[in-house]
Chain A
Amino acid sequence: MTDSLDTRKMAMSGAEPLVLLDGISHAYPNGKVSLTELSFAVHPGEVVCLLGPSGSGKSTAIRCVNMLEPVTAGRLVFEGIDVTAKDVNQVEVRKRVGMVFQNFELFPHMSVLKNVAIGPIVSLKRPKAEAYDLARELLAKVGLSDKGDVLPSQLSGGQQQRVAIARALAMQPDVMLFDEPTSALDPEMVGEVLAVMRKLAEEGMTMVVVTHEMRFARNVADWVVVMEDGRLVEEGTPERIFEQPRMERTRAFFGKLEEQDGVLPTG
């Protein structure tokens, strides 16, 4: 029983991990340790959700993946290359990794369309016309084709986050990182953002998602990683983690969520 629940489809296919965190540690400049020997893998086409209480290092962990935070020990392997090696060009790696932030971080001085086109124009040196065509296409994909000419500040939070997803997709990344993409949203706007993310997952995009949306993790994730105090508590398929959590700390975390939000999603 447990075996079938623990089957990791993508890993079974024998594919190399797209992203591999191999015992990485991280400390902030003030000396506060945020990650301790964290290891997990992300395979191509997989959706991996990072769960855990706030302050457990989930966000730091995904910021390490595109090197917005420097790892202090361990290896970070991206597409088979150890990117913690000194001679690796971080900018080149970041071009292949999309990121969506908790507070959207759209550029307020640019139109929505330019926000989406700016990555390809500046980083990839694509011709402007081509970049704007792609941007229009992606805005349509996130359901905002009529908003290209307005400024980000004229959009709702949910719309801004969908633009931010389109902006990251414009780089045509190999993997998308989501850092609590719905935590700053009003409850009625969470659904529209999760719907876009679900669509991406269905299209086979590789995704690493830090989230407190347990229903999303339960239904969309292929693999769930539970963290606490900068360490991995346990990992497994969502079915296994949610139905048969092995670690007391996972049960305690779910128990707290249950107190707040009622019942855990079961399927």
Chain B
Amino acid sequence: MFDVFFDYRGLFIEGLLVTLQLNAIVVVLSVAGGALIGVARHYGGKIVRVVLGIPVDILRSIPLLVVLIWVFFASPMVFGTRYIDPFVAAVIGLSLTQGAYISEIVRGGLASVRSTQTRAGLALGMTRTQVVTRVVAPQALIRMLPPIGSQVAIGIKDSTLASVIAVPELFRQSQIVIGDSMQPFVVLTTLMVFYFVLVMIVVRLIDMLYTRVAARGAS
């Protein structure tokens, strides 16, 4: 019954590697970009907050499926080319959308540290920058861990949508195998187990990290 995985191992291994690679890149880009945008929106004053809020709100309002298809089929016209690599398109679409959500988590985390903590830092003769790096950011970071963990989990699951623009990730490869082998039950069920295990590992790791530092974020 599980012969199918051996028979099509080449496709599955490629799919697995692409899925892991895609998600690793998206996590790094979306967390870095989201942090940058979130920090800028929190500390950048009104104009920065409003201007950077526009793309964030747009990305949070458009279905990811539409974003991915737009990046793959439509964005090349904007940049005057005819083709964009599906993997690159998936990285861009997923990172933009994930980054938008993460920027809101970062902004909320920074805002959640009450302003009297900033006053306490200033009263100790710290500069504004020192207050942010020594007092506000560490506390905000701890509080951001659980929601960022959830968002990364959503990102991993949503990465299957990249199959519609022919990224050879695990779900796409599985569909190919199903079409050829006529064994949808075993392939799809195994796929579910695989995503369950992958997401649980990520979520539990972040939870464990959070539990260790949670007391330090309470205030």
Q: Do A123 and B117 have beta carbons less than 8 Å apart?
A: no
Given A123-B130, A151-B216, are A105 and B116 also a contact pair (CB < 8 Å)?
A: yes
Chain A CB within 8 A of B78 CB: no
Q: Contacts of B123 on A, CB cut-off 8 Å?
A: 66, 68, 94, 97-99, 101, 168
Task: Write the nearest CB–CB distance from B137 to chain A, whole angstroms.
Answer: 10
Task: Write the nearest CB–CB distance from B106 to chain A, whole angstroms.
Answer: 17
Q: Contacts of A143 on B, CB cut-off 8 Å?
A: none
User: Which of A66, A68, A122, A153 lies in contact with B126, CB distance below 8 A?
Assistant: A122
Chain B CB within 8 A of A119 CB: yes
Q: Contacts of A109 on B, CB cut-off 8 Å?
A: 138-139, 142, 213, 216-217
How many A-B residue pairs have C-beta atoms within 8 angstroms? Tell me. Answer: 71
Query: In which size bucket is the chain B interface?
Result: 20 to 34
Q: Contacts of A168 on B, CB cut-off 8 Å?
A: 123-124
Chain A CB within 8 A of B134 CB: yes
A210 to B127, CA, bound (A): 26
- Since A63-B119, A123-B126 are in contact, a sample of 14 more A-B pairs with Cβ atoms closer than 8 Å, ordered by chain A residue number, is A66-B123, A68-B119, A94-B122, A94-B125, A97-B123, A105-B117, A107-B135, A107-B139, A108-B219, A119-B126, A122-B124, A153-B219, A168-B123, A168-B124
List residues of A whose CB falls within 8 A of some B CB. Answer: 63, 66, 68, 91-92, 94-95, 97-99, 101, 103, 105-110, 118-119, 122-124, 151, 153, 167-168, 171
28 contacts between A and B (CB under 8 A): A63-B119, A68-B123, A91-B127, A94-B123, A94-B125, A95-B125, A99-B123, A101-B120, A101-B123, A103-B116, A105-B116, A105-B117, A107-B135, A107-B139, A108-B139, A108-B216, A108-B217, A109-B213, A109-B217, A110-B216, A119-B126, A122-B124, A123-B124, A123-B126, A151-B215, A167-B124, A171-B124, A171-B125
